Amino acid sequence: MYMSVVERSTASLPAPAGAVWTFSDLYRLPDDGRRYEVLHGELLVSPPPSFGHQNAVTALVVAISNWCTQHTKWSVVGPGGFCVSETTWLEPDVAVFPVSRSAELTWQNAPVPVLVVEVLSPSTRNRDRHRKRAAYLAHGVGEVWLLDMQERTVERWTSASEFPELHREEITWTPVTSAPPLHITNDALFGASAG
């Protein structure tokens, strides 16, 4: 029987009592480079990200952080955390929280992000595109961006989206009307195109 990467990697992890995973259970898992998340009590395990994946995350964090420093003072983290409840803890590749950086902030008391970004990987693209995106939007995240490195596109989703806005050249972010929009080219995210 074929098992996915996630199924193989979770098969050796001891299930908690009652087989419902919680945020607290994550502290007993190994620090092995994989990403551990909980979605409605189900453990999600992702392999370490690729070099290209992290390059895209870094470019995005730098661009958004620079914009936020100048205009809003919001907190930008990558990867970030989004604690919905004890049974739903998600780690987007980038999260923007509408609050200034503070030593008092924790994952549990941080406000709902205004933006989360997932860079789609072969092993997680379906889960990120469908299950995690839906969970983010259902729990009040303002926008979800999905970066598709294979297609060199950015999908923008909001709670009102039936289908995503597809950005093939550039994405513009306007979270507050009192500041100029942020423009990020796909070349800045994915590297210069090969043709």
Residue type, 111: P
- What pLDDT digit, counting tens, does each position of 6-34 carry? 443 444 566 666 689 999 999 889 888 89
- What pLDDT digit, counting tens, does each position of 124-164 carry? 999 999 999 999 999 999 999 999 999 999 999 999 999 99
Which strands form 88-90's sheet, in the order they lie side by side? Answer: 42-46, 35-39, 88-90, 82-85
At the top level of CATH, the class of 50-81+88-190 is alpha beta
| Per-residue pLDDT, 80 | 85
| Mean pLDDT for the chain overall | 89
Distance CA 42, CA 36 (A): 10
| Per-residue pLDDT, 62 | 96
Q: Dihedral (C-alpha) 120, 179, 175, 106: value to the nearest 10 degrees?
A: 80
Provide the residue ranges of all domains of the chain, joining segments of one domain with +.
Answer: 50-81+88-190
